[in-house]
Structure 1
Amino acid sequence: MTQPLIASLVLSLSLGGAIAPFAVAQATNPEPVNIVELVRARNYARQAAERVNGGLSRYRADQSLHGPVREAPYVRNADGSYTFRILGHRVSNGVPASLPSIETVVTVAADGRTTIDYNGPIRN
């Protein structure tokens, strides 16, 4: 039996000089999840990214944060939280740029608290 392939990106976050790697799944995540919980976490993550990047007049999250929830770039963490890697577009004269230029990594705790783990240029 073949396992579904998951395209993942390993990110490294600098935390007080220590490097903490974690993976963020793209497009599919075969783990069973509570869809209502996932939708809520995705919305909190998107709103946190919008807030930290100056609001909707200056920033728009990539379409993956608006479409089907299972296609959002997330990973479910062992503690029940979700971590999202959000690519965002700068907005000029009300029009989002065609290519994303901002990467925001947001962790949403089970109780809805959000933590911005990274916000800056897109990393490779």
Structure 2
Amino acid sequence: MSAVFLPITGTLAQGTRSEVLNIAELIRARNYARQAAERVNGGLTRYRADASMHGPVRQAPYVRNADGSYTFRVLGYRVKNGVPQPLPSIETVVTVAPDGRTTVNYNGVIRN
């Protein structure tokens, strides 16, 4: 089964979502998405995900899909000499299925 991905643009307003969320499920999905982005970009010695993937889970840039999966748009920073660069330069889009399987839908330069 393949998912149709619609690009996420701008900042998602997490506080205005009308569906009832299982916070534990969302935290797990966010962590899987962040780990997939870290893995595909060479690990923590070469890449760091944006703070939105570490802080309050409702501030993470995600969309809940009709099939119960979550799609995250992860902006990331290249790491040079152990220090993340000042601006994000990598966009990774990851879908996390209800069973925890992850699919990287996009990994490359940040799109508008």
TM-score w.r.t. length of structure 1 = 0.81
* 1:35 corresponds to which of 16, 20, 23: 23
Three-state SS of the structure 2 residue aligned to 1:45 is: helix
* 2:12 corresponds to which of 8, 26, 34: 26
Three-state SS of the structure 2 residue aligned to 1:70 is: helix
Cα distance per residue 1:54-98 (max 9 Å; x no partner)? 000000000000000000000000000000000000000000011
Pair member with larger Rg: 1
Evaluate the alpha carbon distance shift between residue 51 and residue 21 of structure 1 in structure 2; reply closer, same or farther with a 3 A threshold. Answer: closer
**RMSD across aligned positions (CA):** 1.6
Aligned equivalents of 1:61 and 1:119: distance in 2? Answer: 13
Q: Which amino acid aligns with 1:89?
A: Y
1:67 is matched with 55
Three-state SS of the structure 1 residue aligned to 2:108 is: strand
Three-state SS of the structure 1 residue aligned to 2:6 is: strand
Three-state SS of the structure 1 residue aligned to 2:107 is: strand
2:92 is matched with 104
Q: Select the structure that is richer in strand.
A: 1
- Number of aligned residues: 106
Q: Select the structure that is richer in helix.
A: 2
Contact 1:57-1:94 within 8 A present in 2 as well? yes
Aligned equivalents of 2:7 and 2:68: distance in 1? Answer: 15
Work out which structure has the larger RCO, using CA pairs closer than 8 Å and 6 or more positions apart in sequence: 2
Q: Which amino acid aligns with 2:41?
A: N
Shift of 1:26: 1.9
Percent of counterpart pairs with the same letter? 74
Q: Which moved more, 1:90-99 or 1:20-29?
A: 20-29
Contact 1:84-1:107 within 8 A present in 2 as well? yes
